[in-house]
């Protein structure tokens, strides 16, 4: 009798796990919080996964209500802990946007590629061709050959890549960009990094990429502060590499965007 009750409870637990996982994915999609974790282009796959889990829940619920032949093997309730623990953590630990402390630990890129390891072609599986000319990449990003360069979420990856690989071609151009402040031990007091996280698949592969910025008011902006800047692109050396540096002409504090990440 006790064994039969245990089997009944096991069926209920299976049903609840499927329902909770499906509900969690559905909530992340409709609340917009899914963007905290993955690239939005995978939203449809998440929606399909949620639908599949709900379907499995219905099947499992029907199965649990039907009479089944007696199974003399004792149910192993402890197996379901590996499903219950992630669900509990997802509920108890709210999602958080990647910040400056995470950026510092992942290594900063100020030349269109990762200073410590791979070039941008390996970092972003998005059809970007770092072997192309800077002019071609600028054209692909929708940037004119004259006037102020507007770095937007839509052209961020291509524009940072193009300028980072051929900074001489952009020297003297004005630039307008939104990002957050980051520093490392090699920066001078009047310098800081202006970066954003690029998400290829999910936050596990997030890459902090941007430009070095110079300003006499640099000390007024703490790490993690979102700012909108206008400035002029210059060429300088950083960590034995030629990199673009922005000489700021205007800095304004800004609110963190509703979607703080950019995507290739």
Span 209-221, pLDDT tens digits: 999 999 999 999 9
pLDDT at residue number 184: 85
- Residue % of the chain over a pLDDT of 70: 78
pLDDT at residue number 115: 30
pLDDT at residue number 130: 38
pLDDT at residue number 70: 54
More confident residue, 85 or 240: 85
pLDDT mean over 184-205: 91
pLDDT at residue number 74: 55
Check residue 90 and give left, alpha or beta (phi > 0: left; psi -120 to 50: alpha). Answer: alpha
pLDDT at residue number 136: 54
- Cα–Cα distance between 88 and 261 in angstroms, integer? 26
Backbone angles phi and psi of 223, in degrees to 5 = -55, 135
- The dihedral formed by the CA atoms of 13, 17, 19 and 25, expressed in degrees to the nearest 10: 170
More confident residue, 106 or 37: 37
pLDDT at residue number 55: 94
Which of 53-57, 73-77, 117-121, 199-203 has the lowest average pLDDT?
Answer: 117-121
pLDDT mean over 126-147: 51
Give the chain's mean pLDDT: 82
**What number does CATH give the domain 100-253?**
2.40.50.140
pLDDT mean over 45-53: 95
pLDDT at residue number 128: 37
pLDDT winner (highest mean) among 9-18, 63-72, 116-125? 9-18
**What ranges do the domains of the chain cover?**
2-92, 100-253
The pairing of strands 226-238 and 241-253 is antiparallel
pLDDT at residue number 112: 56
Burial 5-27 (b: 16+ CB within 10 A, else e): eebeebbebbbbbbbbbbebbbe
């Amino acid at each position: 009798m006790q064994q039969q009750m245990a089997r009944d409870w096991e069926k209920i637990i299976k049903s609840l796990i499927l329902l909770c996982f499906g509900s969690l994915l559905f909530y992340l999609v409709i609340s917009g919080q899914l963007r905290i974790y993955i690239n939005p282009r995978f939203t449809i796959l998440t929606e399909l996964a949620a639908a599949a889990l709900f379907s499995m829940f219905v099947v499992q619920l029907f199965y649990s209500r039907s009479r089944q032949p007696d199974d003399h093997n004792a149910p192993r309730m402890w197996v379901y802990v590996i499903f219950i623990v992630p669900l509990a953590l997802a509920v108890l630990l709210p999602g958080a946007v990647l910040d400056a402390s995470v950026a510092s630990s992942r290594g900063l890129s100020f030349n269109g590629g990762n200073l410590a390891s791979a070039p941008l072609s390996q970092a972003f599986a998005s059809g970007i061709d770092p072997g192309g000319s800077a002019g071609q990449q600028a054209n692909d990003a929708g940037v004119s050959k004259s006037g102020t360069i507007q770095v937007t979420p839509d052209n961020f990856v291509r524009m940072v890549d193009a300028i980072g690989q051929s900074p001489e071609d952009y020297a003297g151009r004005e630039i307008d960009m939104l990002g957050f402040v980051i520093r490392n031990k090699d920066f001078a007091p009047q310098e800081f990094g202006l970066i954003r996280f690029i998400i290829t698949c999910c936050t596990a592969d997030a890459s902090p990429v941007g430009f070095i910025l110079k300003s006499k008011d640099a000390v007024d902006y703490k790490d993690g502060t979102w700012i909108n800047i206008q400035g002029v692109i210059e060429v300088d050396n950083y960590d034995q590499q030629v990199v673009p540096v922005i000489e700021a002409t205007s800095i304004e504090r800004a609110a963190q965007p509703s979607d703080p990440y950019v995507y290739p």
